[in-house]
Structure 1
Amino acid sequence: MKRHIPKRDPVFSDLAFAGRYAKKHLKMAQKFGEEYARKLTTRGFQKGRVLDSGCGFGETLIYLAKTFPEAEFAGVDLSEPLLELAISSAAKANVSGRVEFKKADVHNLPYPDDHFDVALNINMLHLVTDPLKMLDELERVLRDDGHLFIADIRRSWIGLVEPEFKSAFTVAEARAILDKSATRKGMLIAGFLWWRFETKNSG
């Protein structure tokens, strides 16, 4: 199946659409929070700085903030409506003091080199205009001994019934992009609907 580039606004600038998007993807974001909390716990992570690049409505980061009370969290996104939802949710979860949500471009992160101990990037690779630049920025702001987690939907026959999957990369295409970028070595895992990439370091 040939990749279809979506014509809709990937920034989600419409408040009503952002609300529908958040509602539709809430359980997915929570599951990623559970998954990464488990993996970070296994790796011995307790405190440090965590970045979610393309955080959307912030649910994954908020879940992690509740799991790791000694850590600090930053989420960046270009969608103001989604960031508003994230800020509101963080306040309701009583984690606002340790979670900062900021409007910023994932291609040009507003952080110094080697700033974060953990970096997340979920459901973003197929949406951005320059995947290589985004990945290189993640690598720039992540410490050498940091933990990197990337996940995105994969293009397959599912696109026949779910249009969003038509704009995704195949696993082979995703691997080629990762290999071409400055991204550190890691493991790419192909699932039925998603592919995941994570670093091998175990803390």
Structure 2
Amino acid sequence: RNDTLIGERAINAGYKEIFLTVDSVRFGFQEADARNGSNALPKPLRLVNYDEKTSQTDIFTSKIYSHEEDAWDQNTEQIFEQNPTWDDVRWLKNECCCDVPLVIKGIMTARDAIVAVNARADSVMVSNHGGRGLDSALAAIDALPEIVEAVGKRVPILHDSGIRRGTDVIKALVLGATAVGIGKPCFCVLALGEKVLLLIF
């Protein structure tokens, strides 16, 4: 499986944990990306992580360079498992994550958190990807308390989505998160330099 190849490459490169996103088999309508033209790759960039699974001929002839709205959907159908199950989580843990923690990202209910831990996840990440996939979905911070109550004594609970300042971090920790993930703010601000990044937290 391609997931094993990617996982093994990450571990060999020195990664200390493997994150598996379980709620993005298909992308939702992301208005900001569509508005900014971020729905396709500019040539000649390619998805080198998936060279073993999808030939570059397939990629170059797909819609990924077309800038059509369904470009990414077609691409994900080529390279991602479209019908994953919790057995896949067990398999990934057994095959390539024996010696490193496996974190399941995209957990938004206590029930899924329990199933993930029972499937041998070492940690869960409460995340709705900043609301980018489904803008009317429950906020991750609102889902956090019930997940902490359900599995917080069994595994670390990570949280991301909507973290924009230090007080957001404090709120998540008070609600029971073990640690907090910060993505977009850091990437955007790093374009202006490390000193600017430190100013927002």
Q: TM class, shorter-chain normalised?
A: 0.3 to 0.5
TM-score by length of 2: 0.34
- Would you tell me which structure has more helix in proportion to its own residues? 2
Structure exhibiting the larger radius of gyration computed from Cα positions: 2
TM-score of the superposed pair, with normalisation by structure 1: 0.34
Higher strand share: 1
